[in-house]
Each structure stands twice: as C-alpha cells, then as structure tokens.
Amino acid sequence: MTRRGRNSGGKHDRSPGRRAVGGARRRRPPHLTPTERAERGKAARKVAPRSSHAGFEPAGDRPDPVSVVDAQSQTRVPELVPIRYGRMTESPFRFYRGAAAIMAGDLAATPVSGIRAQLCGDAHLMNFRLLGSPERRLVFDINDFDETLPGPWEWDVKRLAASLVIAGRENGFSTKERSVIVTAAVRSYRERMREFAGMGNLDVWYTRADMEELQPLADRRLGARGRKGLSKSMTKARRRDSLQAFEKLTRSLDGERRFAADPPLVVPIDDLLRGVQHDTFAAELHKLVDRYGRSLSTERRQLLHQYRVVDIARKVVGVGSVGTRCWILLLLGKDDTDPLILQAKEADHSVLAEHAGASEYDNQGHRVVAGQRLMQAVGDVFLGWDRVRGLDGRQRDFYIRQLHDWKGIIEPQEMIPNGMRVFAELCGATLARAHARSGDRIAIAAYLGGGPTFDNALAEFAESYADQNERDHAALVAAVKSGRVTAEAE
C-alpha cells in the first residue's frame, strides 16, 4: 500500500467516534470465545512458523538506506537536518534510533502471524522510560509514539530485540551475553502475554508497572552497581518536572521569565523571526493552546486554561526526530513561580503506514495521541493534538504534551550484562501489556506457546539485523565523507 497524502484541510475529528479511512467507521471484530481465539493463534503457526522469524536477509530490491533517511529529511527544517545526520553517524546505536523508516521497510518483508495490535512503531530500548502518573507515582512505560499505528505485533518485538543486541555490542558484551539478554526480553513478553490471556479485560487495562512495587524485586536481582543506578535514575526522574525545566531553560529578562537561547538546540521565537512573520506565527501558537484544549477532557481543559502563554521557542529533540518542527511553550499559572512547559511536536505520517496501512485519523497528531492513550498504562494529563499553519503557509499536525513530567531514562551504556537483562525483561513485559490492551492477547499467547521457539528465533534475528544496521550506519558515514549529505557536530 502506498503512503497517503496529508489531508491538510477541514476540522479536527474530536467526536468520540473515530473517523475511518474512506469515511466508514471501523468495524468491530467478531466476538469469539477464548477457545476460538486460542485456535486462531495456533492456526497462525502454519502461516508463519515461529522458527521462521529467525535471521534476516535483506530483500534484493531493498532501498538504499541513505536515500530512505534523506527522503524523510526533505520535509524537515533544512538547517536542522545536518544535526540529525551528525547524531546518527556517532554510532550504530544512534543510527538505529533514527532509522525507524528503514527498519519498517525491512520488517514488511518478514513473516507475520496475521494478528495485529496497536504498535509503538519505534520500540527500541531507549523508548522505555520512567514516567510520572497523574497520581504522582513513578511507573515504567513506553514513552515515544511518533510512529504508532495498528500493525503486526511482531514488528515491535523485533525492533526491541535488535536494539538490545546493538546496545550490547556497543557495551562490548559477548555474543552469548547478548543472546541471554534478548531471549530474556522475548521470554518475558511471551510469558506475560500468556498471563494476560488468562485475565479479564479490566484487569489487563488496569495493569501497570509501579516502580515502588518493582524496585524491591529488581534490587534482589541487581548487584550493588545496578541497585545504585536504578535508585539514582528514579530520584532523577522525580526531579525532572516543569520546575526543573523552568530553571534550566529560562532566564529573567526585564523582570519576565523567558526562554534562554542555546542555538541551534533552543532558539526563542524572538530570535528566530522578525516583524509581521513573528507576530503572525506567535499569535498562531498562542491560539494553539486554546484550540488544542478541546482535545482534552473537560477537567483537564479547565486546568489548562488557568495558565497563560508568556514565551515560545524552537527546540531540537531526539535523534530520529531532529528536523521535525518542535516548539516549547512557557506558561505561567498563579504567579511566576507556577510554570508549565508544553512541547508541541510535529506529527507526520507513521513510517509504518506505507507497509501496514494508512491511519484512520485525518490528523496525525490525533493518531499519535490515540495510540499513546491506548498503549500507555498512565498518561500525561496535558496530552492532546492540534493543527497549525506553519511559517511556509502549510497546515501541519502537532501533538502537545508536557516537556518534563517525572521523565527518567536508564542509560544502556551504563549497564552491565545482568543489569541489561533485568531491564530487557521489564521492557518485554511492558510491551506485552501495551499490546494486550488492543490486540487479541489470547491468540498471540497461543501462537507463542509455552516453549522457547520464538525466543530463540528472535535472538538469531536480532544478531542478523544488528549486522545490517552496522552496514547501514557505515553507508551513512561514507555518504557524509563523500559530501552526499552534510553532518554537523554539536
């Protein structure tokens, strides 16, 4: 299926019902019994044997990886694209983080069971993080949903598995150590999915990874270094909120708090634009807060409207996202000591859309938000979407969330093999829970079965794909050296 063009006109679809592609509402699947669903999963083994997932061979007509990345860059802010290439050339792992579009094409040629779920679309290990719940408890969950879309559940598991091998290679882990880590992650996914298959719908929906409950269990399996690192990450996550971002990103100017310039990573709108263009676009972004509030529930909209926008800046984020339009908005509440910093990030079509089918949402920001709300156990109270007219006059879709809300990351380069194994198991279980909320958990569990066949197959796939990723990374490095693309070090 070819990628659909952006629908840049019309109003947002904010009704409870979601508009399907072609204007028809999505049909509900037939209500099968648990036995029928399990039989469906077992029958899928004939379509795609579990052992068939082992290994990876690039298709004969596989596109040039540099061309795939460059095609994405054509729609991005030109002066920021060299930063993206600079980050992606740093290491095979950094390249992998920015190469979701490349892997999406590769995964499309791999075996699938035919069972679908809502996908993260970019489920590498760095997108599993510590997050704050609305009740102010620290949880472990998936964080990035820019590429979210319904698709084959195997694709997310394979992206996670490959990321573990790539990170393990960067850390100097042996082949055996990497295999243990990957099989632990996939086994955790499989066993947790089998647990979810036996649970009721509401029990699955309410399940979440509360770190206060998980920490004692993790501590028993981690060494002193691992326990210290986990405790440090949890403490750091609790401090990463709007107040911390406020102190880090702003300064006092003539008695008013404003974003501090740190070009090219943070550029206040006053430094970026002048005259009529500045006033017009600033007004548009101010209006965004009012408009996007309609995508929030009533009580959260009321909370949002207790804040006022005082400054705006462009910010560079991530690796694969570099070059997409991303704005941060400084809002103040009761006084200058009551800040809220929102991030409005451009949402384009998912890299999966060409291979898994177009989104049912006409607004790509709505697609991101809907996928995140479906897959996350807890969510940002300010998560919503809007459509904005850009500096070039084009309509662009955005999703909006808090910049920092108890967000913490456990850096893979600081992990020893045992620590990465524990982390990988937690990622696998979390991904299973996310898929179980939308996919047929009984069918997936029946397909996976009680043995290690699928686990071992994915360990082999992950090593093979890590080899391919290294070749792709080398191709980008060569493209930079030849002058085909321009990379910029920060």
| Cα–Cα distance measured from residue 329 to residue 255, given in angstroms and rounded to the nearest whole number | 18
Paired strand residues for 251: 258
For residue 130, give the nearest of 217, 239, 234 by alpha carbon.
234
> Can you tell me the mean pLDDT for 182-211?
95
> Can you tell me the mean pLDDT for 376-385?
93
The lowest-confidence range among 263-272, 352-361, 471-480 is 263-272
Residue 446 pLDDT exceeds 80: yes
Where does the pLDDT of residue 17 fall: very low under 50, low under 70, confident under 90, or very high at 90 and above? very low
| pLDDT given for residue 379 in this prediction | 85
Residue 260 pLDDT exceeds 80: yes
> Can you tell me the mean pLDDT for 343-350?
95
> 152 — phi, psi (to 5°)?
-65, 125
Where does the pLDDT of residue 413 fall: very low under 50, low under 70, confident under 90, or very high at 90 and above? confident
| Cα–Cα distance measured from residue 328 to residue 344, given in angstroms and rounded to the nearest whole number | 6
Percentage of the residues of the chain whose pLDDT score is greater than 90: 68
pTM given for the model: 0.89
> Can you tell me the mean pLDDT for 320-333?
88
Q: How many CB atoms lie within 10 A of CB 169?
A: 20
Residue 1 pLDDT exceeds 90: no
> Can you tell me the mean pLDDT for 450-476?
98
> Can you tell me the mean pLDDT for 257-263?
93
Q: How many CB atoms lie within 10 A of CB 59?
A: 11
Where does the pLDDT of residue 428 fall: very low under 50, low under 70, confident under 90, or very high at 90 and above? very high
Question: C-alpha angle 333/336/339, rounded to 5°?
Answer: 50
Which has more pLDDT, 28 or 67? 67
Residue 178 pLDDT exceeds 60: yes
| pLDDT given for residue 279 in this prediction | 87
End-to-end, the C-alpha distance of the chain in Å comes to: 38
pLDDT in tens, 232-243: 777 777 777 777
Residue 19 pLDDT exceeds 70: no
- List Cβ neighbours of 465 (8 Å cut-off, separation of 6 or more): 56, 103, 106, 158, 162, 165
395 close to 9: Cβ distance less than 8 angstroms: yes
Please give the structure tokens belonging to residue 335. 């006084």
107 close to 351: Cβ distance less than 8 angstroms: no
Where does the pLDDT of residue 7 fall: very low under 50, low under 70, confident under 90, or very high at 90 and above? very low
> Can you tell me the mean pLDDT for 193-218?
89
141-161 burial: b if 16+ Cβ within 10 Å, else e:
bbbbbbbbbbbbbbbbbbbbb
Q: How many CB atoms lie within 10 A of CB 10?
A: 10
| pLDDT given for residue 244 in this prediction | 80
